[in-house]
């Protein structure tokens, strides 16, 4: 443990072995301050960092507790209970736990798409169906082009034109 090679005063706490392009090693031994000044390490602001962290944790804790205690008035299920069982208590839970459910749905399904697409309740609506098909075919076209499957892309393009005429 020697002194810092730069200021020659403080204890060297930073030890680095550099390998240059020819493969030969060179060593550096610096104190904390000199290591920062030479740009090897980032200046720390411990007070500020811990303050941010603390605010973050306590805030999250408060929020987490708030979410865990959410309760559905219709079935009495709390969010914490749902997380333990993996199943919801009634259809109304989707409304009550909505904000907490969306991130879960993003993970379980497609993170980009958490809005229902497809069949709706009741009798089938042809208009809606062709609208859905249009969206679907457009997405497939983008995929086909990305995969450089131009034969398929051409077929899909024709289908889009057909649907748009309807």
- Residue 52 or 90 with smaller CB distance to other proteins: 90
* Rounded CA separation 132/84 (Å): 36
Query: Which phi and psi angles does 60 have, rounded to 5°?
Result: -65, -40
Binding residues for other proteins, total number by CB under 8 A: 38
Residues 9-28 that bind other proteins (CB under 8 A): none
Residues 136-155 that bind other proteins (CB under 8 A): 136, 139-140
DSSP notation for 97-152? THHHHHHHHHHHSBTTB-S--S--SSS--HHHHHHHHHHHHHHHHHHHHHTT-HHH
- Residue 61 or 139 with smaller CB distance to other proteins: 139
- Residue 1 or 121 with smaller CB distance to other proteins: 121
Q: Minimal distance in Å, beta carbon 77 to other proteins?
A: 7
Query: Which are the contacts of 70, defined by CB distance < 8 A and separation ≥ 6?
Result: 78, 79, 96, 97, 100
Residues 99-138 that bind other proteins (CB under 8 A): 101, 104-105, 108-110, 112-124, 132-133, 135-136
- Residue 5 or 74 with smaller CB distance to other proteins: 74
- Residue 62 or 103 with smaller CB distance to other proteins: 103
* Rounded CA separation 166/146 (Å): 27
Biggest alpha carbon distance in the chain? 84
Footprint of other proteins (CB under 8 A):
74-77, 85-91, 94-95, 101, 104-105, 108-110, 112-124, 132-133, 135-136, 139-140
């Amino acid at each position: 443990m020697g002194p810092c090679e730069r200021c020659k005063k403080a204890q060297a706490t930073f030890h680095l072995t550099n390998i240059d392009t020819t493969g030969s090693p060179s060593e550096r031994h610096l104190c904390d301050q000199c290591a920062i000044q030479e740009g090897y390490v980032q200046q720390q602001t411990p007070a500020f960092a811990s303050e941010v962290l603390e605010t973050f944790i306590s805030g999250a804790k408060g929020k987490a507790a708030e979410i865990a205690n959410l309760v559905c008035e219709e079935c009495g299920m709390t969010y914490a209970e749902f997380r333990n069982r993996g199943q919801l208590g009634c259809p109304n839970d989707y409304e009550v736990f909505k904000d907490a459910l969306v991130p879960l749905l993003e993970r379980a399904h497609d993170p980009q798409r958490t809005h229902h697409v497809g069949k709706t309740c009741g009798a089938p609506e042809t208009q809606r169906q062709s609208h859905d098909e249009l969206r679907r075919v457009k997405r497939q076209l983008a995929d086909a082009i990305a995969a450089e499957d131009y034969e398929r892309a051409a077929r899909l393009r024709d289908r889009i034109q057909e649907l748009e005429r309807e």
